[in-house]
Amino acid sequence: MPLSIASRMLMIGPISDTDANAARPTVEAWAARAESLTTFFNQTLSAETSPITAFVSSEILWRKPT
């Protein structure tokens, strides 16, 4: 179930009404893109498809300082 625009706006944090009105079109556009991407994935990926994951470690753990 997708989040409502109001819920997404609340996730931004406390902002003025002016800033909220300025941000709302961008939030709405991102929400539409997210829904389109979810629809695409649901239609094209199967249950056998594994998500791509990556482990990122600190460079200091694998590279000796020079």
Indicate if the pLDDT at residue 62 is higher than 90. no
Indicate if the pLDDT at residue 58 is higher than 70. no
pLDDT of residue 61: 61
Indicate if the pLDDT at residue 38 is higher than 70. yes
pLDDT of residue 21: 96
Is 23 in contact with 8 (CB distance < 8 Å)?
no
What are the tokens at 53? 């994951």
Cβ count within 10 A of residue 3: 13
Averaged pLDDT for residues 47-55: 70
Per-domain residue ranges for the chain?
5-62
